[in-house]
């Protein structure tokens, strides 16, 4: 048995943090949560003493790309696959060490994510649990055309989805609107025709897979949501009516605020990219406020601004989330979005032991999320400082 002595325990169920608790981990799962006064370890037990730290669930990043770093994405994608894979291996390690134990990869070049997931699951390289989407589906010349599967027409759309399913993806990713990081792309344009979007969702749902739609704003939001899309990614330019529609339909919104803020401030960001972000960044606060007000289901993603869950938490706090609600967006909500909340997202007996310890109290100071001292994934210790 492994025992984690917790200074403060935030189980992320929404109950108040508790002190004097010990988490008992048997194999890959949490066996018991006991009071420190009842704690009687045997000589063979392993003790992880985090009595000066806050212990919480491993974080869940619902929108990332292992192969991409912030900046000129077209230039990065022109590198050979071997180089992209090395980048992905580096990022997977960094992301896990930052306390992100589950990550939804929403699009990689040439199915690199398929092999990354295989290598992580086989224990060849360290990395978070991955949910993968294979190649993002993009109309010819559309947003991130350098990254994904260019697809045109209903028949080709069905084929593109089937190609992803054949490779064993967990989720289908479609670029419904234009994007920031592609030169000449308008983030509020609807890139696919309505029938193409409907065909994508129909094909994925018949195979039991959800669809994640990249949508900054514009008419594509209503089209995709009415066609039954499962998650809207980014949504930084959507209207109040769009937000109400998400709430009515129970469609998830994955907020990726930090990457915009970071890219706007980074001198390495291409000028066209920075100009587009600067036009919309301020207005996106209203979207987050409406999402809170209307009760939209929200999770978060770093989207190339790797490992900065503190920035996502800040974006939610600034829009009216309580510290506990914001922390749950980084943990429990992510698990719900991924369909993994039976096993992940909170610290409870019977769940998988994805556990982290941070220095400080993240409910008071979100920078504590940058000071990760313990990372346990499925009961295995990945970081212990
Ligand atoms: Zn993305």
pLDDT digits (tens, 9 = 90+) for 146-157: 999 999 999 999
Residue percentage of the chain with pLDDT more than 70: 100
pLDDT tens across 192-208, in order? Answer: 999 999 999 999 999 99
Contact of 275 with 261, CB cutoff 8 Å: no
pLDDT score for 4? 98
Residues around ion ligand 1, judged by CB within 5 A, are 303
d(CA 374, ligand 1 centre) in Å: 28
d(CA 65, ligand 1 centre) in Å: 6
d(CA 63, ligand 1 centre) in Å: 6
d(CA 132, ligand 1 centre) in Å: 12
Threshold 0.95, pTM exceeds: yes
State the DSSP code for 218. Answer: S
d(CA 259, ligand 1 centre) in Å: 9
pLDDT score for 13? 98
pLDDT tens across 72-111, in order? Answer: 999 999 999 999 999 999 999 999 999 999 999 999 999 9
Contact of 253 with 298, CB cutoff 8 Å: yes
d(CA 277, ligand 1 centre) in Å: 14
pLDDT tens across 359-378, in order? Answer: 999 999 999 999 999 999 99
d(CA 181, ligand 1 centre) in Å: 10
d(CA 21, ligand 1 centre) in Å: 38
Q: Give the pLDDT mean for 218-244.
A: 98
Residues of the chain with CATH 2.30.40.10: 2-58+346-384
Rounded Cα distance, 23 and 118, in Å:
30
Pairing of strands 231-234, 380-384: unpaired
Q: Give the pLDDT mean for 18-34.
A: 98
Residues of the chain with CATH 3.20.20.140: 59-337
258 confidence band (pLDDT: 50, 70, 90) = very high
d(CA 384, ligand 1 centre) in Å: 30
Does CATH place domain 59-337 in 3.20.20.140? yes
Rounded Cα distance, 66 and 83, in Å:
12
Does CATH place domain 2-58+346-384 in 2.30.40.10? yes
Rounded Cα distance, 237 and 281, in Å:
9
User: Bridge-partner residues for 2, per DSSP?
Assistant: 25, 46
d(CA 224, ligand 1 centre) in Å: 17
Rounded Cα distance, 317 and 223, in Å:
30
Secondary structure of 103-166 in HEC code, one letter for each residue: EEECCCHHHHHHHHHHHHHCCCCCCCEEEECCCCEECCCCCCCCCCEECCCHHHHHHHHHHHHH
pLDDT tens across 302-325, in order? Answer: 999 999 999 999 999 999 999 999
d(CA 299, ligand 1 centre) in Å: 14
């Amino acid at each position: 048995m492994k025992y984690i002595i917790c200074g403060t325990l935030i189980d992320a169920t929404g109950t108040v943090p508790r002190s004097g608790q010990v988490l008992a981990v048997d194999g890959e799962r949490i066996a018991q949560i006991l009071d420190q006064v009842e704690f009687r370890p045997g000589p063979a037990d392993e003790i992880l003493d985090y009595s000066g730290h806050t212990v919480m669930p491993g974080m869940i990043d619902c929108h990332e790309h292992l192969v991409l770093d912030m900046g000129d994405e077209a230039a990065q994608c022109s590198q050979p696959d071997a180089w992209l894979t090395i980048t992905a291996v580096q990022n997977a390690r960094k992301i896990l060490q930052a306390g992100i134990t589950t990550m939804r990869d929403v699009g990689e070049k040439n199915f690199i994510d398929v092999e990354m997931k295989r290598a992580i699951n086989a224990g060849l390289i360290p990395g978070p649990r991955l949910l993968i989407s294979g190649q993002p589906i993009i109309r010819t010349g559309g947003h991130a055309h350098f990254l994904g599967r260019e697809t045109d027409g209903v028949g080709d759309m069905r084929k593109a989805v089937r190609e992803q399913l054949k490779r064993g993806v967990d989720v289908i990713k479609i670029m419904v609107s234009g994007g920031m990081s592609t030169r000449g792309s308008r983030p509020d344009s609807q890139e696919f025709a309505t029938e193409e979007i409907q065909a994508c969702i129909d094909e994925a749902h018949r195979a039991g897979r959800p669809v994640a739609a990249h949508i900054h704003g514009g008419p594509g939001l209503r089209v995709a949501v009415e066609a039954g899309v499962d998650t809207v990614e980014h949504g930084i330019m959507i209207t109040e009516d769009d937000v109400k529609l998400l709430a009515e339909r129970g469609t998830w919104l994955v907020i990726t605020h930090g990457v915009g803020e970071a890219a706007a401030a980074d001198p390495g960001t291409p000028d066209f990219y920075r100009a587009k972000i600067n036009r919309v960044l301020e207005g996106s606060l209203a979207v987050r406020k409406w999402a809170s007000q209307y009760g939209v289901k929200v999770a978060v993603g770093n989207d190339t601004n790797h490992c900065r869950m503190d920035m996502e938490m800040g974006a939610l706090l600034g829009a009216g989330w309580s510290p506990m609600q914001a922390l749950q967006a980084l943990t429990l909500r992510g698990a719900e979005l991924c369909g993994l909340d039976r096993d992940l997202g909170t610290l409870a007996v019977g769940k998988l032991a994805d556990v982290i310890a941070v220095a400080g109290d993240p409910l008071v100071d979100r920078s504590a999320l940058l000071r990760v001292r313990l990372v346990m994934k499925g009961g295995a210790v990945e970081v212990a400082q």
